[in-house]
Amino acid sequence: MSIKWYFYSDTNSRVDEIELILQKRSQSLTSIQKLDDIYVKLEQTPHAILFLKANTVYNVYDLCQEVSALYPHAYIILIAPDNNENVKKAMHVGASNLLTFSSHEEEITEVIIQAQKFMSLRAKQENTPVLQLTKKNTKVISISSSKGGIGRTMLTVNLATALAKQGKKVAIIDANLQFGEVALLFDIKPKLTIYDWVKEGYDRGLFSTEKYMSKHSTGVSILAAPQRPEFFEAITEQHIETAVNELKKYYDVILIDHTSTLSEIHLKSLVLSDEILLITTNDIPVLRSNRLFLDTLQSLQLSGKVKLVLNRDSRKKAISDKKVEEILQIPLYASLPDQGQQVAASINEGIPFLLKNSRVVLSKVIFQMAQKLFSETGNRLEGYKKQKSWLAFSK
Ligand SMILES: Nc1ncnc2c1ncn2[C@@H]1O[C@H](COP(=O)(O)OP(=O)(O)OP(=O)(O)O)[C@@H](O)[C@H]1O
Ligand SMILES: [Mg+2]
C-alpha cells in the first residue's frame, strides 16, 4: 500500500515543517494549489491523507465536510485556527484528525503516525473493494429559464433519452418540487420521491438515493418531485447538494429540471452544475426576463456556464437569431424547431418525443446536442458553425 500525502491551504502558508517530518519518515508531500485539484487527486488515490488548512477564502469546517462527503476514503487532517479549535466540530464534519496553526513538531509527528497506522489497519481489511470512489467526470446540467411553459421539461426528458441512447447512465432530479412533471412525461407513477428520500433516508443519516429513483425502460433514472405540492417545503438546498453528490457515485450525467423561480434550491443547483442550459424563445417578454436572469447569474459569477438554447424556433420569425444573441449577449448554442402538435401528443402519451419520432428534426437536434455536450469541441468557444439554418451549434 502506498500512501499519498497532500496539503491544501487557501492561506499561502508554508508546509516546510510537515514536509520535513514526512521526509524523515521517507514520505513525500504534494502541495495542492487549486481546490479543484483536491478532487482530481482524491478521485485517483485510494490511500490519500489530506492536510486541510483554510481560513481566508473558505471556512475550513465547511470545506472539510464537502471533501469528506465526496471522498469518504480520504483521511483528512484538519488544520484549524488556534482560537477556533474544536475537536468535536472537526469530527462532525468528517475530519479524521485535528491540528492547529500553532501545532509543534511533536504534535504533528504524533498525528502523522496515527494516520499511517490507521491507513495500514484499513488496508488489511481492503481485500474486498469496499471503498466507493465517486464516478469520474459526472456532468451536472441544469435546465433553466426565467419563464414557465417554455420547454424545460420537454428538453430535460428528451435530452436524458438521447444521452441514455448514447450509452450514458442518466439521472434526472425533478427540482420543480411543487408541480414536477418529469415522471409524468415518462409515463411513470413514482412509488418513492425526493420527499421520501429526505424523510426516510437523509434525516436518518442514510444518504444513498438509489432506492428512491424511478427507473424508465430507456435506462433513465428519476428522483421525482414530491407527490403533493405542500411537501416541497421539506426540501432544502442542502438536500439537493447531497442528492447531487450521491448521484455522482453512479451516474455519468445528472440533469436538473427547474422552475422559473430563482429560489435557494435553484441557485444551489446552478452552483453545483457544470453547464446551465438557458432556454429562451424569441419573444420580447421572454428575452427581457432571460436578460435579467443572465444579469443575476453574472453577478454570481455563474454566467460562464450558460449555454443558450432557443426553443420553438421557426422560419417565420420577427426577431432574428443575431438579435437574440445581441439582446442576451451570448451566442446561441442550439436552436430547437417548433414541432407543433407532435410535441404535445408525445407529452400527453408519456413517451419522450425522441423515442416516438426519432427521425424528425427536433429529435435529431436534441440527439446532436447530447453528443456535443460530451464532445471536447462542443465545450470550446469556437467550433460549430451553423449546420442547417436551425441547427445552430455556435459554442
Ligand atoms: N419545440 C417545441 N415544439 C412544439 N411544442 C413545444 C416545444 N417545446 C415545448 N413545447 C410545448 O410547450 C409546452 C410547455 O413545455 P414544458 O412543459 O416542457 O415547459 P416548462 O418550461 O417545463 O414548463 P413549466 O413552467 O410548466 O415547468 C408543452 O406543452 C409542449 O407541448
Ligand atoms: Mg417543467
State whether the beta carbon of 338 lies less than 6 angstroms from ligand 1.
yes
DSSP assignment of 84-133 equals G--HHHHHHTT-SEEEETT--HHHHHHHHHHHHHHHHHHHHTTTS----P
State whether the beta carbon of 340 lies less than 6 angstroms from ligand 1.
yes
Which residue bears the cell 420537454?
Answer: 154
Domain 4-124, CATH homologous superfamily name and number? Response regulator (3.40.50.2300)
Domains 4-124 and 139-379 in one fold = yes
CATH of span 139-379: 3.40.50.300
- Angle (deg, nearest 10), helices 237-247 and 264-272: 30
DSSP assignment of 295-313 equals HHHHHTT-GGGEEEEEEEE
Ligand 1 atom closest to Cα of residue 257: 22
State whether the beta carbon of 347 lies less than 6 angstroms from ligand 1.
yes
Q: Whose CA is nearest to atom 14 of ligand 1?
A: 149
Which value, in Å, is the radius of gyration of the alpha carbons in the chain?
24
pTM over 0.85: no
Q: Are strands 221-223 and 214-215 parallel, antiparallel or unpaired?
A: antiparallel
CB atoms within 10 A of CB 35: 15
Distance 160 CA to ligand 2 centre (A): 14
State whether the beta carbon of 153 lies less than 6 angstroms from ligand 1.
yes
Choose the residue to mutate in 144, 154, 172 for probing ligand 1, maximizing ligand atoms within 8 Å of C-beta: 154
State whether the beta carbon of 274 lies less than 6 angstroms from ligand 1.
no
So what's the pLDDT on residue 85? 60
State whether the beta carbon of 344 lies less than 6 angstroms from ligand 1.
yes
So what's the pLDDT on residue 24? 93
So what's the pLDDT on residue 377? 56
State whether the beta carbon of 177 lies less than 6 angstroms from ligand 1.
no
Ligand 1 atom closest to Cα of residue 311: 1
| Per-residue CA distances from 258 to 70, 207, 265, 353 (Å) | 24, 22, 9, 20
SS (H, E, C) 154-171: HHHHHHHHHHHHCCCCEE
State whether the beta carbon of 312 lies less than 6 angstroms from ligand 1.
yes
DSSP assignment of 32-61 equals E-SHHHHHHHHHH-SSEEEEEE-SSSS-HH
So what's the pLDDT on residue 345? 94
Distance 304 CA to ligand 1 centre (A): 26
Q: Are 55 and 81 in contact (CB under 8 A)?
A: yes
CB atoms within 10 A of CB 111: 21
C-alpha cell of residue 387: 449546420
So what's the pLDDT on residue 324? 95
Which 8-state DSSP code applies to residue 386? P
Q: Residue ranges of the chain with pLDDT lower than 50?
A: 128-131, 378-395
Distance 158 CA to ligand 1 centre (A): 12
Choose the residue to mutate in 145, 150, 360 for probing ligand 1, maximizing ligand atoms within 8 Å of C-beta: 150
Strand (E) or helix (H) holding 341: helix 340-349
So what's the pLDDT on residue 316? 74
Domain residue limits, the chain: 4-124, 139-379
> What are the φ/ψ torsions at residue 372 (nearest 5 degrees)?
-65, -35
State whether the beta carbon of 349 lies less than 6 angstroms from ligand 1.
no
So what's the pLDDT on residue 204? 84
Q: Whose CA is nearest to atom 20 of ligand 1?
A: 149
Distance 260 CA to ligand 2 centre (A): 9
Ligand 2 ion: Cβ-proximal residues, 5 Å cutoff: 152-153
Distance 54 CA to ligand 2 centre (A): 40
Calpha distance 147→152 (Å, rounded):
10
Ligand 1 atom closest to Cα of residue 338: 3
Calpha distance 325→332 (Å, rounded):
6
List, in order, residues 6 or more apart from 338 with CB less than 8 Å away.
Answer: 311, 312, 313, 314
SS (H, E, C) 197-223: HHHHHHHHCCCCCHHHCEECCCCCEEE
State whether the beta carbon of 148 lies less than 6 angstroms from ligand 1.
yes
Distance 145 CA to ligand 2 centre (A): 10
Q: Whose CA is nearest to atom 23 of ligand 1?
A: 149
Calpha distance 255→275 (Å, rounded):
10
State whether the beta carbon of 146 lies less than 6 angstroms from ligand 1.
no
